[in-house]
Amino acid sequence: MAERLTKWSVTTGTVIRHMHYGLRVQVPSGEIGVIDRVHIDDNYVNPASWPTIGSVITVVGAGYAGSQLRLSSRPSHLNEARARMAGGHDATTEAGTEDFGPNPGVHSS
């Protein structure tokens, strides 16, 4: 079993597939996660402009939905994760307390 990525952990990921709902991304541990289309960027990104398959992007762990790794590549989430690391926050003790929900101003039509 691959090592589980903790919430708010920043890492790289390789885009392995485009899906109608977002991106499938493989992180260095080998685990495959999903970036929902509303978590690709802080603003709407047309699917034609999503990162290409094979590209390496910076992602942050957004927790798990069952056994499915959820990721985000939103700059605001990456900045929050980096601020938490710099501030000495322990992501494992706060994993369930923060919202990775979609930005209400972003619509994924």
The pLDDT tens digits for 28-73 are 999 999 999 999 999 999 999 999 999 999 999 999 999 999 999 9
Q: Band of the pLDDT at 86, cuts 50, 70, 90? A: confident
> In whole numbers, what is the pLDDT of the chain averaged over residues?
85
> 30 — alpha (psi -120 to 50), left (phi > 0) or beta?
left
Which has the closest alpha carbon to 69: 38, 24, 18? Answer: 24
Q: Specify the pLDDT at position 105.
A: 43
Count Cβ atoms below 10 Å from residue 86 Cβ, excluding itself. 8
Strand partners, 57: 13
Name, in order, each residue with C-beta under 8 angstroms of 55's C-beta and a sequence gap of 6 or more: 14, 15
Q: How far apart are CA 65 and CA 97, in angstroms?
A: 15
The pLDDT tens digits for 87-108 are 776 554 444 434 565 444 444 4
